[in-house]
Amino acid sequence: MDMETVKNTAISSLHKAGNLLCPLYEAGVAIEKKGAVDLVTEADKAAEAAVIETISRVFPHHGILAEESGAHSENAPFRWVIDPLDGTTNFAHGLPLFCTSIAFQAHGETLLGAVLNPITRELFLAEKGKGATRNGKAIGVSQTADLEESLLVTGFPYNRREVLDELMAKVKRCLGKAQGLRRLGSAALDLCYLASGRFDGFWEQNLKSWDTAAGVLIAREAGGTITDFQGGPYTPGDPTMLATNGPIHKEMMHLLATAHAE
Ligand code: IPD
Ligand code: CA
Ligand code: CA
């Protein structure tokens, strides 16, 4: 596989999506509901169509898994996993915290991850075995070993109303220990910010593979540790994910495991 062409295709797809998203963000878009708290806008759909068209023109036989239109050529050995707009709720409320996330996989293994926030113009990129970058400069996770000095981030899944007590128990446990806790609303950016050393730890449950496929490679290539809540291997799409800088991983695992709904 010509990884240079894969990389350039991912980057040009991200810019096409960004060029569509920015004016729609400024103008405001109509919102539809996919579920009680799960939104979709014309921006999600337009950005996804632009990304798929760009990739398919270069790689017509590759598989695609995209949030809004699902799977195409599912059994193809090479596959692109696309979240056209991660942070739709932020986008819909005029909060400039959203991105497009694209991962390229060969036989299920992610070889390239690329994420662009078109508002801040930060482009995060990682190629398997080659480290991670932000706008071309190498990035790495933080060295913080003390949870009391750690800035954590989490997210709340779309089924949050059914698991509210369980979610809040984890928030309570971690908030009681850490220096701070944020909820930004874009899992892909959460992982890229962990990769940049801005956050020291991130946990969330029920994320989909398009939310994390690119960000997980970026965070791992930046030196991050990513497992499920129990410390087992994490593959995008698994039900729980704990991503940290490494030194605080065990303690966070313990906090999450001992958080019980009251
Ligand atoms: C959502 C965001 C959010 C996370 C949700 C995701 P979307 O993706 O990543 O941070 O908490 O679980 O579904 O719907 O904005 O693409
Ligand atoms: Ca998403
Ligand atoms: Ca999305």
In this prediction, residue 261 carries a pLDDT of 64
CA distances (Å), origin 237, targets 84, 161, 234, 246, 251 = 17, 20, 8, 21, 24
In this prediction, residue 170 carries a pLDDT of 96
In this prediction, residue 196 carries a pLDDT of 98
CA-nearest residue for atom 11, ligand 1, is 155
CA angle 44, 200, 105 (to 5 degrees): 45
Between β-strands 39-41 and 31-33, what pairing exists: parallel, antiparallel or unpaired? Answer: antiparallel
In this prediction, residue 262 carries a pLDDT of 63
Could you tell me if the CB of 68 is within 6 A of ligand 1?
no
Long-range contacts at 134-139 (CB < 8 A, ≥ 24 apart): 134/192, 134/195, 134/196, 139/195, 139/196, 139/197, 139/222
Q: If we measure between CA atoms, which residue out of 228, 256, 250, 254 comes closest to residue 167?
A: 256
Indicate the pTM of the whole model: 0.96
**Does one domain contain both 123 and 31?**
yes
Which atom belonging to ligand 1 lies closest to the Cα atom of 206? 12
Instruction: Fill in the DSSP letter of residue 148.
Output: G
**Does one domain contain both 156 and 85?**
no
**Does one domain contain both 35 and 114?**
yes
**Does one domain contain both 151 and 109?**
no
Which atom belonging to ligand 1 lies closest to the Cα atom of 39? 14
pLDDT in tens, the chain (262 residues): 799 999 999 999 999 999 999 999 998 877 777 776 666 788 999 999 999 999 999 999 999 999 999 888 878 899 999 999 999 999 999 999 999 999 999 999 999 999 999 999 999 999 999 999 999 999 999 999 999 999 999 999 888 787 898 899 999 999 999 999 999 999 999 999 999 999 999 999 999 999 999 999 999 999 999 999 999 999 999 999 999 999 999 999 999 999 876 6
**Does one domain contain both 8 and 125?**
yes
CATH number at residue 155: 3.40.190.80
In this prediction, residue 39 carries a pLDDT of 64
**Does one domain contain both 113 and 226?**
no
Please give the Cα distance from 221 to 124 (Å, whole number): 11
Which atom belonging to ligand 1 lies closest to the Cα atom of 157? 12
**Does one domain contain both 98 and 27?**
yes
Kindly give the distance from the C-alpha atom of residue 21 to the centroid of ligand 2, in angstroms, as a whole number.
15
Q: Residue 180: helix, strand or coil by DSSP? A: strand
**Does one domain contain both 154 and 248?**
yes
- Contact criterion met (CB below 8 Å) for 102 and 214: yes
The phi and psi torsions of 29 (rounded to 5 degrees) equal -130, 160
**Does one domain contain both 73 and 156?**
no
Could you tell me if the CB of 48 is within 6 A of ligand 1?
no
In this prediction, residue 51 carries a pLDDT of 98
Structural domain total, the chain: 2
**Does one domain contain both 166 and 110?**
no
Please give the Cα distance from 197 to 150 (Å, whole number): 10
Give me the domain span that covers residue 228: 147-261
**Does one domain contain both 21 and 80?**
yes
CA distances (Å), origin 60, targets 48, 67, 214 = 16, 19, 21
CA-nearest residue for atom 5, ligand 1, is 157
In this prediction, residue 41 carries a pLDDT of 82
Q: Where are the beta strands (DSSP E) in the chain?
A: 31-33, 39-41, 63-66, 70-72, 78-86, 99-106, 109-117, 122-127, 132-134, 137-139, 151-154, 180-182, 201-205, 225-227, 240-244
In this prediction, residue 33 carries a pLDDT of 75
